[in-house]
Amino acid sequence: MKPTLLILAAGMGSRYGGLKQMDQVGPSGEAIIDYSIYDAIRAGFEKVTFIIRKNIEKEFREVFESKLKGAIETEFIFQELEMVPEGISFSSERVKPWGTAHAVWVAKDFIREPFVVINADDFYGAGSYQTIADYLMQDNIVNSSNYGMVGYQVQHTLSDFGSVTRGVCEATNDDFMKAVVERTEIVREGQQIYYIDKEEGKVSLSGDELVSMNFWGFTPTIFDHFERAFTEFIEKNAEKLKKELFIPKVVNELVARDIASVKILPSRDQWFGVTYREDKPVAVEHIRKLVEQGVYPDNLWS
């Protein structure tokens, strides 16, 4: 069974200052999303599903429907605040989205096959898509709670224009996840990489630590797990206007309770993203070099 690519594209881009999901970085006007879809098609994915907000539907359809027609099946799903499990209520003052766990959960009635979750504004590399596609297409994975996650060396995921938050992976000797530990304010100063801990202050990192960049491989069994977790989350945080539920928190709990397993799949690809507007020229230069090397054509969809 071929996997689906689920792209989380409903974010508001507050730090970036605009709709970064659509920003052009390629020589023919491609966005990072275009390269993700192109790599997924080459790896054997048969469908791409966009998680978006209703107020950006027009822009997404105009950009992607025509260019992807005939290349891959395309679907658009909305993530809105009012989409919560039946019988759940929350503050009418809430504006901020519920988080990435909610973004995945809203796809529960649309996906029946193994699927990969990615961020719209992150470039993951062609090899990573092939690696996770191969993992999800194993016969023993399809209906199980055996999930996968592509991990990147933290030194390859930093921004030169500000601190970043990364989920550092703790793993068993055979590369199964024990936990993803969120580390905030990770920075690089010269040759040194460290994060700021409230109690310990600066904590050095070697740079080789594997981190989660929200590149997950799931089966449809995950939806029930997310619904239970999200229901409990809202019941506890209904009046908190900015509290969000993220994928790693749900997965950590599943792993800790031995309900699910997650195989960490190390990537040799270079990750890059556009967390800050200043990151865009760096992304453009990365793409230019990859085109020069023949990894991608000048125009992905010509």
pLDDT digits (tens, 9 = 90+) for 84-138: 998 888 998 998 889 999 999 999 999 999 999 999 989 999 999 999 999 999 9
The pair of structure tokens assigned to 225 is: 């797990």
Sign (positive or negative) of CA dihedral 240, 241, 242, 246: positive
| Cβ-contact 106, 246 below 8 angstroms | no
Q: Cα(154)–Cα(210) distance, rounded to whole angstroms? A: 6
Q: Cα(115)–Cα(113) distance, rounded to whole angstroms? A: 6
For helices 222-237 and 247-256, the axis angle rounded to 10 degrees is 110
Q: Cα(299)–Cα(302) distance, rounded to whole angstroms? A: 6
- Apex CA 197: angle with CA 195 and CA 198, to 5°? 150
Q: Cα(151)–Cα(263) distance, rounded to whole angstroms? A: 10
Q: Please tell me the pTM assigned to this model.
A: 0.93
| Cβ-contact 75, 111 below 8 angstroms | no
pLDDT digits (tens, 9 = 90+) for 4-50: 999 999 864 444 344 566 789 999 999 999 999 999 999 999 999 99
Task: Tell me the backbone φ, ψ of residue 252, rounded to 5 degrees.
Answer: -55, -45
| Cβ-contact 32, 25 below 8 angstroms | yes
Indicate the domain borders of the chain: 4-292
Residue type, 285: E
Q: What does the pLDDT read at residue 139? A: 87
Q: What does the pLDDT read at residue 292? A: 97
Per CATH, the number for 4-292 is 3.90.550.10
Residue type, 32: I
Q: Cα(227)–Cα(301) distance, rounded to whole angstroms? A: 37
